[in-house]
């Protein structure tokens, strides 16, 4: 009896001590995170090269974060450093003999990105190319004979005139194409005959290249107008292989080179490159006879690889999960391999029925993972942030509810860290952009998706995959056609009502925030639907649909996969779906934030909303510009400012930390001492 009591007391006090040791997650923790970036499986399958990303310290000023390169041994499980220090590089690949790794970098103050090779024995980077315009993309010939690379076409510029101030720019006409080249020894040949090469892939025998080519080097062309061409390297011939009508992303050759699988949209109005196709090489079938292996699939394919000449493996977003599936060339149905593990990833590589990927879960950001096809089991290979075990992260789960028209809407819900079922809590609705994207049930915290940061301060965080999101099939993603900001927004309101009826939230203390299309929703929440929200934070958001199309770098993408009409066809409809139209309905305190260099959603969109709310709104409003930032903040300084400023806004108006009719202070206390050392000082734990 006495012994049992002692054991009970030990368990109690041990649990108490554990709870006492746990702390909550903050923005400073987010900025200390180290994440695995790229992963590349060696051709012999024995090693995985991967990068670990760490923050550039704020005292060094703005600039790119740092990367280091490591190798994981598939037999021993040991991790070996290859490149360490404050470095920046990308496009990590293995050379065909598996004895060296390569990357794109500007080592030794090189003005342009060049290819470097790093032998595993010396670990000393050796410059491979010296192309004046730099390298955009590269790939080694699998047979070991040279490599292919893409680079901007050279232009003869009069530098003397520029020095004198003659620097006029001709918009959209003065953009050089991206050409594809073959490098064999010291010989370099251009392979493409015309257009811009946005992506390419060697055939396994090294004789052919599948290239994604668009007419011009414009963002809209990269999104909407790529076709797959076949380039015969020896004969230097370029022929059309697949006349893709819309979006196109990843490709994969079968091992024998007789088939090419790819991920694309089903037609020109499909918002998502999310269906799986395969064609014979060469291919003479028109698009309407090209087989779609995921017809009527309620998900979005993200990547594809081949197991053998008859079997494909593909990953897909399905609701809030990521699945791996196997399908035979001649079969009609797939075999689902995994999908309920809570492991989230987009791309993968395969060798001898072992798959490697960079993945995350609700408990950690991106790490290196392996999946065994035979055992159908994941294995985590790295631990980059062991201190996360000391942090009390939010309970997170899939949420599902019925919209007012009976449609099932799904998303992710995070609970307050101190959740008590007897209480009702304030809530932040985090709206994803796109709208052709989706929130997965993995790591959901970033500087602009408040996640664990908000949960630590006593908020529910609701992330709905409203209609028009990806991950639910083609028909679902097309539901915003000519209907932007209407039924899709009602899905958010219906989610709020559902959670309020469940007794979880105080629906009078609901905020809304998001970036891009999520910023559009947030601007609607501040105006047309102001009665539902006590605080709104539109970030790089659309506010005037009429002017947005004329100011963006993707007008055709907006036209083809969202509106399907031009503003001139129905200007009343475009203005009706614009938040600025409803500025006089504003009763929601609104914090607007935007990067000054944004080309996707022009900064004037935020200025329009700010001016309208200042003139006609009935609540506090503030506009914050971020110099040097585009469609999202990439610098640590801007990310820290954004998160501290927005969380203060929510706390002020949702938690009563300030007067409801007053603005929070203008300045932000950054408390930089809390950042500590953000650089990588140890290799990740296996």
104 three-state secondary structure: strand
CA-based angle 352:355:356, to the nearest 5? Answer: 130
CA-wise closest residue to 368 among 35, 54, 29 = 35
Q: How many residues does the chain have?
A: 686
Does the pLDDT value for residue 120 go beyond 90?
Answer: yes
Judged against a pLDDT cut of 60, whether residue 514 lies above it is answered with yes
Taking residues 529-553, what's their average pLDDT? 98
pLDDT tens digit string along 36-62? 999 999 999 999 999 999 999 999 999
Tell me how far apart the alpha carbons of residues 107 and 117 are, in angstroms, rounded to a whole number: 12
Pairing of strands 275-280, 259-264: antiparallel
3-state secondary structure 465-507: ECCCCCCCCHHHHCCCCCCCCCHHHHHHHHHHHHHHHCCCEEE
Strands (E) across 516-628 are located at 535-539, 590-595, 621-626
Please give the Cα distance from 318 to 302 (Å, whole number).
10
Q: Are 273 and 264 in contact (CB under 8 A)?
A: yes
Q: Examine the pLDDT at 102 and tell me if it is beyond 80.
A: yes
Average pLDDT of 390-394?
A: 97
| Helices marked H in 135-218 | 159-163
CA distance 421 to 53: 39
CA 145 from chain center: how many Å?
Answer: 34
The DSSP code for 57 is P
CB atoms within 10 A of CB 625: 13
| CA atoms in the 13 A half-sphere facing the CB of 190 | 14
pLDDT tens track for 594-629: 999 999 999 999 999 999 999 999 999 999 999 999
Long-range pairs, 158-166, Cβ under 8 A, ≥24 = none
pLDDT beyond 70 at 6: no
Looking at residue 562, what DSSP letter applies? I
Query: pLDDT exceeding 70 applies to what percent of the chain?
Result: 96
In which order are the strands placed within the sheet that holds 227-232? Answer: 196-202, 208-214, 227-232, 237-242
Q: What is the mean pLDDT of residues 481-506?
A: 97
Q: Using CA atoms of 83, 85, 89, 92 in order, give the dihedral in degrees to the nearest 10.
A: 30
- Tell me the H-state helices in 240-294: none
What is the C-alpha to C-alpha distance for residues 158 and 133, in angstroms, rounded to an integer?
Answer: 16
Nearest alpha carbon to residue 537 among 460, 624, 637, 662: 624
Cβ–Cβ < 8 Å for 211, 190: no
Measured between alpha carbons, how far is 66 from 87 in angstroms, rounded to an integer? 5
pLDDT band of 14, cuts 50, 70, 90 = very low
> What CA–CA distance (Å, rounded) separates 632 from 161?
35
C-alpha atoms less than 13 angstroms from C-alpha of 87 in its C-beta half-sphere:
19
Q: What is the mean pLDDT of residues 495-505?
A: 98
- Residue 18: pLDDT band (50, 70, 90) is very low
Alpha-carbon distance of 658 to 654, in angstroms, equals: 9
**Cα–Cα distance, 351 to 47 (Å, whole number):** 11
Strand partners, 276: 263
Q: Which helix (H) or strand (E) holds 649?
A: helix 636-654
How many angstroms separate the CA atoms of 381 and 78, rounded? 10
Could you tell me what percent of the chain has a pLDDT over 90? 91
Tens digits of per-residue pLDDT, 187-242? 999 999 999 999 999 999 999 999 999 999 999 999 999 999 999 998 889 999 99
In tens, the pLDDT along 410-450 reads 999 999 999 999 999 999 999 999 999 999 999 999 999 99
Cβ burial of 646 (10 Å; 0-12, 13-18, 19+) is buried
Compute, in degrees rounded to 10, the torsion defined by CA atoms 444, 445, 451, 457. Answer: 160
pLDDT reading at 8 higher than 90:
no
pLDDT for the residue numbered 3:
38
335-338 and 535-539: which strand pairing? unpaired
What is the per-residue pLDDT across 337-347, written as a single tens digit (0 to 9) for each?
998 789 999 99
Contact 138, 150 (CB under 8 A): yes
Is the per-residue pLDDT at 500 higher than 90? Answer: yes
CB neighbourhood size of 557 (10 A): 21
CA 611/CA 623 separation, integer angstroms = 9
pLDDT of amino acid 228: 98
The pLDDT score that the predictor gives to residue 546 is 96
Tell me how far CA of residue 658 lies from CA of 179, 589, 610, in angstroms: 57, 12, 21
Report residue 4's pLDDT band, with 50, 70 and 90 as the boundaries.
very low
For the ranges 263-267, 325-329, 673-677, which has the lowest average pLDDT?
A: 673-677
H-helix or E-strand spanning residue 522: helix 517-526
Instruction: Count CB neighbours of 450 within 10 A.
Output: 27
Say what the pLDDT of residue 682 is: 55
Q: How confident is the model at residue 679 (pLDDT cuts 50, 70, 90)?
A: low
Residue 592 has pLDDT above 80, yes or no: yes
* Contact between 468 and 476 (Cβ < 8 Å): yes
**Count of alpha carbons within 13 angstroms of residue 121, beta-carbon side:** 2
Flag whether pLDDT at 685 surpasses 80.
Answer: no
The pLDDT-based confidence of 155 (bands split at 50, 70, 90) is confident
Positive/negative CA dihedral, 516, 518, 523, 528 = positive
Q: State pLDDT tens for residues 638-647.
A: 999 999 999 9
Residue 352: what pLDDT? 86
Q: How does the average pLDDT of the chain come out, rounded?
A: 94
């Amino acid at each position: 009896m006495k012994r049992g009591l002692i054991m009970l007391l030990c368990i109690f006090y041990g649990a108490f001590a554990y709870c006492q040791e746990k702390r909550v997650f903050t923005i400073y923790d987010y900025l200390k995170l180290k994440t695995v970036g790229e992963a590349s499986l060696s051709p012999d399958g024995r090693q995985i090269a991967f990068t670990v990303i760490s923050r550039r310290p704020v005292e060094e000023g703005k600039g790119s974060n740092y990367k280091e390169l490591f190798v994981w041994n598939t037999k021993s499980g040991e991790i070996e450093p290859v490149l360490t220090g404050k470095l920046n590089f990308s496009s990590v690949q293995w050379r065909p003999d598996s004895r060296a790794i390569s990357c794109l970098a500007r080592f030794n103050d090189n003005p342009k990105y060049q290819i470097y090779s790093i032998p595993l024995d010396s670990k000393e980077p050796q410059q491979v190319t010296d192309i004046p315009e730099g390298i955009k993309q590269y790939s080694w010939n699998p047979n070991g004979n040279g490599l292919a690379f893409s680079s901007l076409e050279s232009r003869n510029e009069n530098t003397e005139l520029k020095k004198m101030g003659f620097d006029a720019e001709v918009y959209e006409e003065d953009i050089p194409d991206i050409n594809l080249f073959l490098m064999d020894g010291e010989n370099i040949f251009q392979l493409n005959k015309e257009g811009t090469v946005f992506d390419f892939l060697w055939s396994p025998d090294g004789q052919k290249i599948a290239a994604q080519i668009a007419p011009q080097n414009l963002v809209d062309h990269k999104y909407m107008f790529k076709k797959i061409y076949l380039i015969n390297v020896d004969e230097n011939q370029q022929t059309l292989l697949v006349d893709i009508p819309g979006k196109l992303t990843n490709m994969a050759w079968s091992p024998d080179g007789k088939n090419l699988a790819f991920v694309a949209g089903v037609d020109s109005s499909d918002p998502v490159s999310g269906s799986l196709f395969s064609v014979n090489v060469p291919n003479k079938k028109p698009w309407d006879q090209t087989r779609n292996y995921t017809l009527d699939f309620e998900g979005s394919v993200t990547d594809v690889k081949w197991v053998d000449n008859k079997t494909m493996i593909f990953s897909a977003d399905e609701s809030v999960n990521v699945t791996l599936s196997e399908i035979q060339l001649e079969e009609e149905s797939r075999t689902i391999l995994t999908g309920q593990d809570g492991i989230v990833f987009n791309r993968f590589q395969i060798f001898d029925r072992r798959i490697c990927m960079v993945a995350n879960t609700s408990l950690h950001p991106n790490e290196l993972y392996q999946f065994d096809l035979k055992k159908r089991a994941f294995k985590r290979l790295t631990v980059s942030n062991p201190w996360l075990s000391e942090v009390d992260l939010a309970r997170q789960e899939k949420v599902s509810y019925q919209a007012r028209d009976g449609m099932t809407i799904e998303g992710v819900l995070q609970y307050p860290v101190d959740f008590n079922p007897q209480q009702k809590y304030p809530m932040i609705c985090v709206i994803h952009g796109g709208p052709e994207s989706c929130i997965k049930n993995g790591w959901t915290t970033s500087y602009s998706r408040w996640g664990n940061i908000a949960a630590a301060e006593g908020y529910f965080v609701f992330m709905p995959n409203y209609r028009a999101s990806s991950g639910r099939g083609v028909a679902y993603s097309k539901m915003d056609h000519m209907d932007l900001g209407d039924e899709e927004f009602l899905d958010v309101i219906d989610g709020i009502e559902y959670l309020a009826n469940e007794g979880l939230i105080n629906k009078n203390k609901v905020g809304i925030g998001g970036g891009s299309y999520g910023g559009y929703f947030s601007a609607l929440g501040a105006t047309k639907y102001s009665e539902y929200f006590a605080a709104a934070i539109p970030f790089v958001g659309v506010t005037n649909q009429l002017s947005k199309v004329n100011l963006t770098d993707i007008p055709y993408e907006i036209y083809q996969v969202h509106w399907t009409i031009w503003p001139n066809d129905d200007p009343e409809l475009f203005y009706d779906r614009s938040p600025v139209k409803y500025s006089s309905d504003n009763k929601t305190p609104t914090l607007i934030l935007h990067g000054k260099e944004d080309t996707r959603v022009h900064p004037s969109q935020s200025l329009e909303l700010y001016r309208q709310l200042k003139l006609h709104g009935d609540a506090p409003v503030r506009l914050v510009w971020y110099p040097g930032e585009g469609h999202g903040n990439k610098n640590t300084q801007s990310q820290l400012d954004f998160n501290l400023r927005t969380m203060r806004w929510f706390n002020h108006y949702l938690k009563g930390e300030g007067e409801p009719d007053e603005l929070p202070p203008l300045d932000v206390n950054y408390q930089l001492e809390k950042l500590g050392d953000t650089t990588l000082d140890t290799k990740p734990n296996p």
